[in-house]
A and B are shown apart, each in its own frame.
Chain A
Amino acid sequence: MIASILPSISPGTLLAGGITAAAASLWLLLPSGRSGAADRTARWLGWLLGIVALAGFLATGHRLGSVGEEAVFLTVALVAVISGAATVVSRSPVYAAIWFAMALAGVSGVLLVLGGQFLGVATIVVYAGAILVMFLFVLMLAQPAGLAPYDRVSTEPLLAAVAGAVLLGILSLSIGRLTAEPPACCLMGGTKAALLADSATTEPPAAAATGIDMLADNHVARLGGELFGRHLLAVEVAGVLLLAALIGSIAIVSRGAADAEPAAARRAVP
Protein backbone atom coordinates (compact mmCIF):
# COMPACT_ATOMS: atom_id res chain seq x y z
CA MET A 1 0.00 0.00 0.00
CA ILE A 2 2.70 2.41 1.10
CA ALA A 3 4.94 1.00 -1.63
CA SER A 4 2.37 2.07 -4.23
CA ILE A 5 2.30 5.59 -2.80
CA LEU A 6 6.07 5.76 -3.12
CA PRO A 7 6.63 4.16 -6.52
CA SER A 8 10.01 5.80 -7.00
CA ILE A 9 11.64 3.91 -4.11
CA SER A 10 12.48 0.30 -4.79
CA PRO A 11 11.61 -2.27 -2.10
CA GLY A 12 15.30 -3.08 -1.67
CA THR A 13 16.14 0.53 -0.81
CA LEU A 14 13.18 0.68 1.53
CA LEU A 15 14.28 -2.49 3.29
CA ALA A 16 17.88 -1.32 3.56
CA GLY A 17 16.69 1.98 5.03
CA GLY A 18 14.47 0.13 7.48
CA ILE A 19 17.29 -2.11 8.64
CA THR A 20 19.66 0.85 9.03
CA ALA A 21 17.02 2.71 11.02
CA ALA A 22 16.50 -0.38 13.19
CA ALA A 23 20.24 -0.63 13.91
CA ALA A 24 20.48 3.08 14.78
CA SER A 25 17.39 2.79 16.94
CA LEU A 26 18.80 -0.17 18.89
CA TRP A 27 22.12 1.62 19.30
CA LEU A 28 20.35 4.65 20.78
CA LEU A 29 18.06 2.58 22.96
CA LEU A 30 20.61 0.20 24.47
CA PRO A 31 21.78 1.30 27.91
CA SER A 32 24.88 3.43 27.52
CA GLY A 33 25.43 5.03 30.92
CA ARG A 34 23.96 8.37 29.86
CA SER A 35 21.80 10.18 32.34
CA GLY A 36 19.26 12.95 32.50
CA ALA A 37 18.21 14.87 29.42
CA ALA A 38 20.72 13.19 27.08
CA ASP A 39 19.31 9.79 28.01
CA ARG A 40 15.74 10.90 27.48
CA THR A 41 16.56 12.47 24.09
CA ALA A 42 18.37 9.32 22.98
CA ARG A 43 15.43 7.16 23.98
CA TRP A 44 12.88 9.34 22.19
CA LEU A 45 15.03 9.38 19.08
CA GLY A 46 15.52 5.63 19.36
CA TRP A 47 11.82 4.84 19.55
CA LEU A 48 11.14 7.27 16.69
CA LEU A 49 13.74 5.54 14.52
CA GLY A 50 12.24 2.20 15.57
CA ILE A 51 8.86 3.32 14.24
CA VAL A 52 10.55 4.39 10.98
CA ALA A 53 12.20 0.95 10.74
CA LEU A 54 8.89 -0.81 11.35
CA ALA A 55 7.25 1.34 8.66
CA GLY A 56 10.00 0.29 6.24
CA PHE A 57 9.40 -3.36 6.99
CA LEU A 58 5.62 -2.96 6.70
CA ALA A 59 5.97 -1.22 3.34
CA THR A 60 8.07 -4.03 1.90
CA GLY A 61 5.93 -6.78 3.46
CA HIS A 62 3.55 -8.91 1.46
CA ARG A 63 -0.17 -8.41 1.56
CA LEU A 64 -2.17 -11.30 2.92
CA GLY A 65 -5.40 -12.37 1.32
CA SER A 66 -8.11 -11.04 3.58
CA VAL A 67 -8.19 -7.81 5.55
CA GLY A 68 -9.10 -9.57 8.78
CA GLU A 69 -6.24 -12.03 8.55
CA GLU A 70 -3.82 -9.24 7.75
CA ALA A 71 -5.02 -7.09 10.65
CA VAL A 72 -4.69 -9.98 13.10
CA PHE A 73 -1.26 -10.96 11.84
CA LEU A 74 0.00 -7.37 11.89
CA THR A 75 -1.25 -6.84 15.42
CA VAL A 76 0.35 -9.93 16.90
CA ALA A 77 3.57 -9.49 14.91
CA LEU A 78 3.91 -5.87 16.04
CA VAL A 79 3.28 -6.90 19.65
CA ALA A 80 5.96 -9.58 19.35
CA VAL A 81 8.57 -7.37 17.68
CA ILE A 82 8.05 -4.24 19.81
CA SER A 83 8.00 -6.24 23.04
CA GLY A 84 11.10 -8.12 21.90
CA ALA A 85 12.91 -4.83 21.31
CA ALA A 86 11.77 -3.59 24.73
CA THR A 87 13.10 -6.83 26.29
CA VAL A 88 16.50 -6.16 24.79
CA VAL A 89 16.73 -2.49 25.78
CA SER A 90 15.05 -2.47 29.21
CA ARG A 91 17.38 -1.26 31.94
CA SER A 92 15.71 -3.17 34.72
CA PRO A 93 15.88 -6.97 34.28
CA VAL A 94 12.46 -7.32 35.91
CA TYR A 95 10.95 -5.10 33.23
CA ALA A 96 12.87 -7.09 30.61
CA ALA A 97 11.25 -10.28 31.90
CA ILE A 98 7.78 -8.70 31.84
CA TRP A 99 8.34 -7.42 28.29
CA PHE A 100 9.52 -10.90 27.33
CA ALA A 101 6.19 -12.25 28.59
CA MET A 102 4.45 -9.75 26.30
CA ALA A 103 6.67 -10.86 23.40
CA LEU A 104 5.67 -14.45 24.16
CA ALA A 105 2.02 -13.47 23.89
CA GLY A 106 2.74 -11.93 20.49
CA VAL A 107 4.75 -14.94 19.31
CA SER A 108 1.99 -17.28 20.39
CA GLY A 109 -0.44 -15.18 18.36
CA VAL A 110 1.86 -15.41 15.32
CA LEU A 111 2.05 -19.17 15.78
CA LEU A 112 -1.75 -19.36 15.97
CA VAL A 113 -2.13 -17.36 12.73
CA LEU A 114 0.45 -19.58 11.06
CA GLY A 115 -1.58 -22.65 12.00
CA GLY A 116 0.35 -23.89 15.00
CA GLN A 117 -2.65 -24.18 17.30
CA PHE A 118 -1.04 -26.52 19.80
CA LEU A 119 2.27 -24.68 19.79
CA GLY A 120 0.64 -21.30 20.35
CA VAL A 121 -0.96 -22.57 23.54
CA ALA A 122 2.11 -24.59 24.56
CA THR A 123 4.30 -21.48 24.24
CA ILE A 124 2.09 -19.61 26.71
CA VAL A 125 1.85 -22.55 29.10
CA VAL A 126 5.48 -23.65 29.05
CA TYR A 127 7.30 -20.34 28.52
CA ALA A 128 5.13 -17.74 30.22
CA GLY A 129 3.82 -20.17 32.81
CA ALA A 130 6.98 -22.00 33.79
CA ILE A 131 10.23 -20.70 32.34
CA LEU A 132 9.48 -17.01 32.78
CA VAL A 133 8.29 -17.52 36.35
CA MET A 134 11.56 -19.31 37.05
CA PHE A 135 13.44 -16.30 35.65
CA LEU A 136 11.43 -13.97 37.88
CA PHE A 137 12.13 -16.13 40.94
CA VAL A 138 15.87 -15.95 40.26
CA LEU A 139 15.58 -12.19 39.75
CA MET A 140 13.85 -11.82 43.11
CA LEU A 141 16.61 -13.88 44.72
CA ALA A 142 19.53 -12.17 43.06
CA GLN A 143 18.47 -8.66 42.11
CA PRO A 144 20.13 -5.89 44.13
CA ALA A 145 18.06 -2.88 45.12
CA GLY A 146 17.83 -0.21 42.45
CA LEU A 147 19.56 -0.21 39.09
CA ALA A 148 22.95 -1.90 39.14
CA PRO A 149 25.79 -0.16 37.25
CA TYR A 150 26.11 -3.13 34.89
CA ASP A 151 22.45 -2.69 33.90
CA ARG A 152 23.10 0.90 32.89
CA VAL A 153 25.92 0.20 30.43
CA SER A 154 26.32 -2.29 27.62
CA THR A 155 29.35 -3.77 25.91
CA GLU A 156 29.85 -2.33 22.41
CA PRO A 157 26.24 -1.30 21.65
CA LEU A 158 27.18 0.03 18.22
CA LEU A 159 28.96 -3.13 17.08
CA ALA A 160 26.16 -5.29 18.45
CA ALA A 161 23.51 -3.27 16.60
CA VAL A 162 25.53 -3.45 13.37
CA ALA A 163 25.93 -7.22 13.77
CA GLY A 164 22.19 -7.60 14.26
CA ALA A 165 21.49 -5.40 11.22
CA VAL A 166 23.87 -7.40 9.03
CA LEU A 167 22.26 -10.66 10.11
CA LEU A 168 18.78 -9.25 9.52
CA GLY A 169 19.84 -7.93 6.11
CA ILE A 170 21.20 -11.30 5.02
CA LEU A 171 18.12 -13.11 6.30
CA SER A 172 15.65 -10.78 4.63
CA LEU A 173 17.63 -10.87 1.39
CA SER A 174 17.41 -14.65 1.30
CA ILE A 175 13.75 -14.57 2.32
CA GLY A 176 13.00 -12.02 -0.40
CA ARG A 177 14.73 -14.21 -2.95
CA LEU A 178 12.25 -16.99 -2.14
CA THR A 179 9.45 -15.11 -3.83
CA ALA A 180 11.38 -13.82 -6.85
CA GLU A 181 12.69 -17.14 -8.05
CA PRO A 182 13.00 -20.70 -6.78
CA PRO A 183 16.27 -21.34 -4.93
CA ALA A 184 19.14 -22.84 -6.86
CA CYS A 185 18.64 -26.25 -5.33
CA CYS A 186 15.25 -26.58 -6.98
CA LEU A 187 15.99 -25.39 -10.49
CA MET A 188 15.36 -28.51 -12.48
CA GLY A 189 16.32 -30.01 -15.78
CA GLY A 190 13.83 -31.25 -18.35
CA THR A 191 13.41 -34.81 -17.13
CA LYS A 192 12.87 -33.81 -13.55
CA ALA A 193 10.38 -31.19 -14.64
CA ALA A 194 8.49 -33.75 -16.66
CA LEU A 195 8.51 -36.09 -13.68
CA LEU A 196 7.23 -33.30 -11.49
CA ALA A 197 4.54 -32.34 -13.95
CA ASP A 198 3.53 -36.01 -14.02
CA SER A 199 3.34 -36.23 -10.26
CA ALA A 200 1.44 -32.97 -10.09
CA THR A 201 -1.50 -34.53 -11.83
CA THR A 202 -1.69 -37.45 -9.41
CA GLU A 203 -0.73 -35.83 -6.13
CA PRO A 204 -2.95 -33.37 -4.26
CA PRO A 205 -1.84 -29.75 -4.70
CA ALA A 206 0.86 -28.62 -2.27
CA ALA A 207 0.03 -26.35 0.60
CA ALA A 208 1.99 -23.45 -0.82
CA ALA A 209 0.19 -23.52 -4.17
CA THR A 210 -3.26 -23.22 -2.65
CA GLY A 211 -2.33 -21.21 0.41
CA ILE A 212 -4.52 -23.51 2.48
CA ASP A 213 -3.18 -24.89 5.74
CA MET A 214 -3.01 -28.63 5.20
CA LEU A 215 -2.38 -29.22 8.88
CA ALA A 216 -5.53 -27.49 10.11
CA ASP A 217 -8.09 -30.25 10.51
CA ASN A 218 -7.75 -32.59 13.50
CA HIS A 219 -4.63 -30.63 14.27
CA VAL A 220 -3.73 -31.74 17.78
CA ALA A 221 -4.70 -35.36 17.21
CA ARG A 222 -2.55 -35.61 14.09
CA LEU A 223 0.34 -33.78 15.75
CA GLY A 224 0.17 -36.21 18.66
CA GLY A 225 0.09 -39.14 16.24
CA GLU A 226 3.15 -37.80 14.46
CA LEU A 227 4.99 -37.06 17.71
CA PHE A 228 4.33 -40.41 19.36
CA GLY A 229 4.55 -42.40 16.15
CA ARG A 230 7.40 -41.28 13.98
CA HIS A 231 9.31 -39.40 16.70
CA LEU A 232 8.69 -41.73 19.65
CA LEU A 233 12.37 -42.34 20.30
CA ALA A 234 13.11 -38.60 20.28
CA VAL A 235 10.30 -38.06 22.80
CA GLU A 236 11.91 -40.63 25.08
CA VAL A 237 15.30 -38.96 24.68
CA ALA A 238 13.73 -35.58 25.50
CA GLY A 239 12.29 -37.10 28.67
CA VAL A 240 15.73 -38.39 29.66
CA LEU A 241 17.17 -34.94 28.92
CA LEU A 242 14.62 -33.30 31.23
CA LEU A 243 15.47 -35.79 33.97
CA ALA A 244 19.20 -35.17 33.50
CA ALA A 245 18.69 -31.39 33.67
CA LEU A 246 16.63 -31.78 36.85
CA ILE A 247 19.20 -33.96 38.59
CA GLY A 248 22.07 -31.88 37.27
CA SER A 249 20.65 -28.59 38.53
CA ILE A 250 19.96 -30.06 41.96
CA ALA A 251 23.50 -31.46 42.11
CA ILE A 252 25.04 -28.14 41.08
CA VAL A 253 22.97 -26.23 43.65
CA SER A 254 23.82 -28.54 46.53
CA ARG A 255 27.54 -28.75 45.73
CA GLY A 256 27.83 -25.07 44.85
CA ALA A 257 26.21 -24.03 48.13
CA ALA A 258 28.93 -25.89 50.04
CA ASP A 259 31.63 -24.24 47.92
CA ALA A 260 30.14 -20.76 48.06
CA GLU A 261 29.95 -20.57 51.85
CA PRO A 262 33.72 -20.29 52.42
CA ALA A 263 33.87 -17.76 49.59
CA ALA A 264 31.15 -15.65 51.20
CA ALA A 265 32.94 -15.93 54.53
CA ARG A 266 36.17 -14.74 52.89
CA ARG A 267 34.33 -11.77 51.39
CA ALA A 268 32.81 -10.86 54.73
CA VAL A 269 36.13 -10.91 56.69
CA PRO A 270 37.86 -7.73 55.45
Chain B
Amino acid sequence: MNLLANTVAPSALVIDGLVVGAILFALGLVGILARRNLIVMFLCAELMLQGISVSLVSWSRHHGDWGGHVLVIFVLTVAACEAAVALVFVLQAFARTGRLDSAAWQSLRESNLPRTIDRELPAIDTVPPKFPKLAPAGVEPAADEDALHEREHV
Protein backbone atom coordinates (compact mmCIF):
# COMPACT_ATOMS: atom_id res chain seq x y z
CA MET B 1 0.00 0.00 0.00
CA ASN B 2 2.39 2.63 -1.16
CA LEU B 3 -0.35 4.97 -2.36
CA LEU B 4 1.34 7.92 -0.75
CA ALA B 5 4.30 7.76 -3.10
CA ASN B 6 1.96 8.31 -6.02
CA THR B 7 0.72 11.59 -4.67
CA VAL B 8 4.08 13.13 -3.83
CA ALA B 9 5.92 15.04 -6.53
CA PRO B 10 9.17 13.29 -7.51
CA SER B 11 12.39 14.69 -6.16
CA ALA B 12 14.64 16.77 -8.39
CA LEU B 13 17.06 13.88 -8.84
CA VAL B 14 14.28 11.62 -10.10
CA ILE B 15 13.11 14.27 -12.56
CA ASP B 16 16.65 14.80 -13.84
CA GLY B 17 17.12 11.07 -14.24
CA LEU B 18 13.91 10.85 -16.25
CA VAL B 19 15.06 13.70 -18.50
CA VAL B 20 18.41 12.01 -19.13
CA GLY B 21 16.57 8.79 -19.96
CA ALA B 22 14.27 10.63 -22.37
CA ILE B 23 17.21 12.31 -24.13
CA LEU B 24 19.05 9.01 -24.56
CA PHE B 25 15.89 7.35 -25.90
CA ALA B 26 15.27 10.16 -28.42
CA LEU B 27 18.90 10.06 -29.58
CA GLY B 28 18.65 6.33 -30.15
CA LEU B 29 15.41 6.82 -32.07
CA VAL B 30 17.02 9.39 -34.37
CA GLY B 31 19.92 7.03 -35.00
CA ILE B 32 17.68 4.07 -35.81
CA LEU B 33 15.61 6.15 -38.22
CA ALA B 34 18.50 7.87 -39.98
CA ARG B 35 21.54 5.63 -40.05
CA ARG B 36 22.01 2.95 -42.70
CA ASN B 37 24.76 0.80 -41.24
CA LEU B 38 23.13 -2.26 -39.65
CA ILE B 39 25.58 -2.37 -36.73
CA VAL B 40 25.17 1.34 -35.96
CA MET B 41 21.40 0.82 -36.01
CA PHE B 42 21.76 -1.90 -33.38
CA LEU B 43 24.03 0.33 -31.32
CA CYS B 44 21.27 2.95 -31.39
CA ALA B 45 18.73 0.35 -30.25
CA GLU B 46 21.03 -0.40 -27.33
CA LEU B 47 21.19 3.35 -26.62
CA MET B 48 17.38 3.40 -26.41
CA LEU B 49 17.53 0.48 -23.96
CA GLN B 50 19.99 2.47 -21.84
CA GLY B 51 17.53 5.37 -21.73
CA ILE B 52 14.80 2.98 -20.60
CA SER B 53 17.08 1.60 -17.89
CA VAL B 54 17.79 5.08 -16.52
CA SER B 55 14.05 5.87 -16.44
CA LEU B 56 13.20 2.60 -14.70
CA VAL B 57 15.82 3.15 -12.00
CA SER B 58 14.55 6.71 -11.49
CA TRP B 59 11.02 5.48 -10.93
CA SER B 60 12.34 2.77 -8.65
CA ARG B 61 14.00 5.43 -6.53
CA HIS B 62 10.82 7.51 -6.53
CA HIS B 63 8.64 4.67 -5.32
CA GLY B 64 11.22 3.07 -3.04
CA ASP B 65 10.47 -0.19 -4.80
CA TRP B 66 12.59 -2.92 -6.38
CA GLY B 67 10.47 -3.34 -9.50
CA GLY B 68 12.52 -1.03 -11.70
CA HIS B 69 15.82 -2.58 -10.71
CA VAL B 70 14.55 -6.09 -11.37
CA LEU B 71 13.15 -5.00 -14.72
CA VAL B 72 16.50 -3.46 -15.71
CA ILE B 73 18.21 -6.77 -14.96
CA PHE B 74 15.80 -8.48 -17.36
CA VAL B 75 16.40 -5.70 -19.92
CA LEU B 76 20.12 -6.52 -19.69
CA THR B 77 19.39 -10.22 -20.22
CA VAL B 78 17.12 -9.64 -23.20
CA ALA B 79 19.62 -7.16 -24.67
CA ALA B 80 22.33 -9.82 -24.52
CA CYS B 81 20.05 -12.34 -26.29
CA GLU B 82 18.98 -9.77 -28.85
CA ALA B 83 22.56 -8.73 -29.58
CA ALA B 84 23.64 -12.35 -30.08
CA VAL B 85 20.84 -13.21 -32.50
CA ALA B 86 20.92 -9.84 -34.27
CA LEU B 87 24.66 -9.93 -34.85
CA VAL B 88 24.35 -13.40 -36.34
CA PHE B 89 21.73 -12.03 -38.73
CA VAL B 90 24.01 -9.09 -39.56
CA LEU B 91 26.87 -11.47 -40.32
CA GLN B 92 24.59 -13.54 -42.57
CA ALA B 93 23.42 -10.39 -44.36
CA PHE B 94 27.05 -9.36 -44.84
CA ALA B 95 27.96 -12.81 -46.18
CA ARG B 96 25.19 -12.56 -48.78
CA THR B 97 25.54 -8.96 -49.95
CA GLY B 98 29.06 -7.98 -48.94
CA ARG B 99 27.67 -4.82 -47.35
CA LEU B 100 26.47 -3.77 -43.90
CA ASP B 101 23.86 -1.62 -45.63
CA SER B 102 20.20 -1.74 -44.71
CA ALA B 103 19.35 -0.47 -48.21
CA ALA B 104 20.91 -3.64 -49.63
CA TRP B 105 17.71 -5.35 -48.49
CA GLN B 106 15.33 -2.80 -49.96
CA SER B 107 13.71 -5.44 -52.14
CA LEU B 108 11.85 -6.34 -48.93
CA ARG B 109 10.14 -2.91 -48.85
CA GLU B 110 6.48 -2.26 -49.52
CA SER B 111 5.64 -2.27 -53.22
CA ASN B 112 4.33 1.32 -53.18
CA LEU B 113 7.50 2.82 -51.67
CA PRO B 114 10.15 4.45 -53.86
CA ARG B 115 13.48 2.81 -54.33
CA THR B 116 16.49 4.17 -52.45
CA ILE B 117 18.97 5.29 -55.06
CA ASP B 118 22.47 6.21 -53.98
CA ARG B 119 23.86 9.30 -55.62
CA GLU B 120 27.51 9.77 -56.41
CA LEU B 121 29.35 10.97 -53.34
CA PRO B 122 32.22 13.45 -53.50
CA ALA B 123 35.59 12.01 -52.68
CA ILE B 124 36.77 12.23 -49.09
CA ASP B 125 39.57 14.72 -48.68
CA THR B 126 41.51 12.75 -46.14
CA VAL B 127 44.68 14.23 -44.75
CA PRO B 128 47.31 11.49 -44.46
CA PRO B 129 48.30 11.01 -40.82
CA LYS B 130 51.63 12.41 -39.74
CA PHE B 131 53.69 9.90 -37.84
CA PRO B 132 56.66 10.94 -35.74
CA LYS B 133 60.04 10.00 -37.17
CA LEU B 134 63.01 8.83 -35.20
CA ALA B 135 66.31 10.47 -35.87
CA PRO B 136 68.59 8.00 -37.66
CA ALA B 137 71.21 6.58 -35.34
CA GLY B 138 73.99 4.00 -35.55
CA VAL B 139 75.53 2.46 -38.62
CA GLU B 140 73.34 1.16 -41.41
CA PRO B 141 74.04 -2.55 -41.94
CA ALA B 142 75.23 -3.65 -45.37
CA ALA B 143 72.28 -4.86 -47.46
CA ASP B 144 72.38 -8.39 -48.86
CA GLU B 145 71.86 -7.85 -52.60
CA ASP B 146 70.61 -11.40 -53.30
CA ALA B 147 68.08 -11.31 -50.49
CA LEU B 148 66.77 -7.96 -51.71
CA HIS B 149 66.11 -9.31 -55.20
CA GLU B 150 64.74 -12.72 -54.26
CA ARG B 151 62.45 -11.67 -51.50
CA GLU B 152 58.93 -10.81 -52.67
CA HIS B 153 57.41 -9.76 -49.36
CA VAL B 154 58.90 -8.18 -46.35
Contacts and interface: CB of A to CB of B under 8 A. Distances in A.
| Majority secondary structure of chain B interface residues (helix, strand, loop or mixed) | helix
A69 to B, nearest CB: 8
Interface residues of B, number: 91
A159 B82 CA distance: 27
A207 B5 contact: yes
A75 to B, nearest CB: 12
A142 B92 CA distance: 10
Contacts of B58: 114
Given A119-B69, A172-B19, A149 B121 contact: yes
Interface in B87-144: 87-92, 94-96, 98-103, 116, 118-119, 121-125
Interface string B70-97: 1011101111111111011111101110
Given A62-B12, A208-B5, A215 B60 contact: yes
A186 B26 contact: no
A135 B91 contact: no
Nearest to A131: B83
Interface of A: 26, 30-31, 33-36, 57, 61-65, 69, 73, 77, 80-81, 84-85, 87-88, 90, 93, 96-97, 100, 103-104, 107, 110-111, 113-116, 118-119, 122-123, 126-127, 130-131, 134-135, 138-139, 141-144, 147-157, 159-161, 163-165, 167-168, 171-172, 175, 178-179, 182, 185-186, 188, 196, 199-200, 203, 205-209, 211, 213-215, 222-223, 226-227, 230-231, 234, 238, 241-242, 244-246, 248-249, 252-253, 256-257, 260, 263-264, 267
